[in-house]
Amino acid sequence: MFVLTLVISILSKNQTNLTCPIVSEGIVGAYNRTNLPPSVTSLLSGSLFVLDKSGSPSASLVDKIDVNQDNTLFNITLKNGLMWNDGTAVKSSDIKINLPDIEVTYPNNQTISFKLADSFSPFLGLLTTPVLKPNSLVGLGKYKVNYQEINRGHISKLVLEPINKNSCKDNPLVSIRFYQDEQTIKTAFNLGEIDAILAIQDTNDFSKQSNVTIKKIQNYNKLVAIFYNIKDSILDKNYRKALNYSVNTVKGEDEADTSIPTISWAHNNDLKEVRGDIASAKTFLAKVETGKDKPVVITTSTYFEGLAQKVVEDWKKIGVNAVIRTESGNPQNFQALLTTVSIPHDPDQYALWHSTQTNTNISKYSSPRVDKDLEDGRKTTNIDNRKEKYFDFQKVIQDDVPATFLYFPKINIVYRKKVETNLNKILPSQIVQF
């Protein structure tokens, strides 16, 4: 079979003369010039806003923000003197941002105007993606693209070099290859094609390799949970509470007592501690009138089979029988679904829990009170009012138990020890975007 590979060497005359140390990374996924992951684009450029650890945005490439009284019009003024890495001045119209139901205009070369259909308090958090010059990989960061390979419409390799060639000591060359799945990237690592793997799930193959380090980095943009089918005829509220209370904390993981992480400014610290409360679990189970004689089916992927088995053992301690069903993807028909979901930096979890969100509300959860909390929380910019709404949201969610929240998973970075020094020079910029 004939495969067309397009090789673009942007600085081919200098390519072989670069003397910077090189870090060779691998990433799973199929990407083109328009959808590169932030772990790559964060090296090439900056963003209009950045988020702190609690999820609050602050200006980065922005000098000034003007907002109207009802928070539907945002005029953002860029900093003076911004230059793309190709030497051209940044114009506001260069920064293309496509957001649903938001009108974007450019009143002048330094201002971007965003007109929203309704108040939306998490708006600035949507402007944290690194910006690139239109139809290019040119940014404003410490790196630029030196070389790229395109295979079947997807980028298969990128080589990034520091803008300042005299700064090799602080900024090594970065070679990034893309692979279709974890098995392929593991093979590439073992063959020496790459020296580091970003964001891999299964690290068992590397645990006994003495020259390899596995670094675990906490990620609060993902949540591992058991989602209950609210419409299931057996799993009523008491049954869900029994299951929820009986599950123990997962050792070595950052426990989730709600779907909002503890580092968030909106986390409710007054929630009950329910993990492994067998006595309360049995009390709730005693109130269940029908269906206790039937096993609960917990659906999950092969990756979570071991965790699912531990959950089943916890449920057996209160007299609940359960079976594990392994499926790929996210099935629509389930009783209990053990999976991982993405959550935003902002506490606005409208998509995951509002009753109108039929495609993303996994549990098919419906609560007028929660709907109102979520609606109000995304419309007011007053931080105290938002806290009040999200505190109440978490309290209701814990009582209704549409899910058992387990933990916020870690990102695994696998690398050879010989590249550790140089990898650590670029990794902080990359992982802040995970």
In this predicted model, what pLDDT tens digit does every residue of 54-98 receive, in sequence order?
A: 888 899 999 999 999 888 999 999 999 999 999 999 999 999 988
User: What's the pLDDT tens digit per position in 365-412?
Assistant: 999 999 999 999 999 888 999 999 999 999 999 999 999 999 999 999
For residue 1, what pLDDT is reported?
A: 38
Instruction: Report which of residues 340 and 16 the model is more confident about.
Output: 340
Whether pTM exceeds 0.85: yes
Residue ranges of domains in the chain, CATH in brackets: 5-42+141-218+411-431 (3.40.190.10), 46-127 (3.90.76.10), 222-408 (3.10.105.10)
- State the Cα–Cα distance between residues 159 and 176, nearest whole angstrom: 6
Confidence band, pLDDT 50/70/90 cuts, at residue 205: confident
Sort 49 into a burial class: Cβ within 10 Å, 0-12 / 13-18 / 19+. buried
For residue 434, what pLDDT is reported?
A: 54
For residue 101, what pLDDT is reported?
A: 87
- State the Cα–Cα distance between residues 129 and 50, nearest whole angstrom: 9
Confidence band, pLDDT 50/70/90 cuts, at residue 18: low
Is residue 53 scored above 90 in pLDDT? no
Compute the average pLDDT of residues 320-346. Answer: 91
User: What's the pLDDT tens digit per position in 265-289?
Assistant: 999 999 999 999 999 999 999 999 8
311, 403, 409 from 250: Cα distances, Å:
10, 16, 11
83 CB neighbour count, 10 Å cutoff: 10
State the distance between the two ends of the chain, measured CA to CA, in whole angstroms: 37
Percent of the chain with pLDDT over 90: 78
Tokens in use for 58?
A: 């602050």
Is residue 50 scored above 60 in pLDDT? yes
Confidence band, pLDDT 50/70/90 cuts, at residue 244: very high
Is residue 184 scored above 50 in pLDDT? yes
Alpha-helical segments (H) within 318-402: 350-353, 368-377, 383-400
Tokens in use for 335?
A: 């009783």
Q: What is the mean pLDDT of the chain?
A: 91
Return the C-alpha torsion angle 286, 288, 293, 297, nearest 10. Answer: -120
